[in-house]
Amino acid sequence: MAVQRRKRYAEVLESKCVACGSCAGVCPRTAISVPKGVTAKVDKDLCVGCGLCEKICPACVIEMITEASQQEEN
């Protein structure tokens, strides 16, 4: 049986990110980091889509994306 699942995650508008790291500081899953000091990067697999980073981001460059995906289940 195919089950509809939704995945919610954060996405960074990289060209406008100021790399301050506020998002990384509040992420409960350490799913977001600023590895090279240019922009924040999100690990989609770790992100649970809680939206804390979006709320804290002073540059308003984080958006929450909801993606529908099909998953097979018995």
Q: Is 51 in the site for another protein (CB under 8 A)?
A: no
- Identify any residues that bridge with 11 across adjacent strands, giving them in sequence order: 63
* Separation between Cα atoms, residue 49 and residue 54, nearest integer Å: 10
Rule CB under 8 A: is residue 21 a binding residue for another protein?
yes
Rule CB under 8 A: say whether 18 interacts with another protein. Answer: yes
**Helix H or strand E segment including 52:** helix 52-56
Which of 38, 67 has the CB closer to another protein?
38
Size of the site for another protein (CB under 8 A): 19
Cα–Cα distance, 42 to 30 (Å, whole number): 9
Which residues are at the interface with another protein (CB under 8 A)? 16, 18-22, 24-25, 34-38, 55-60
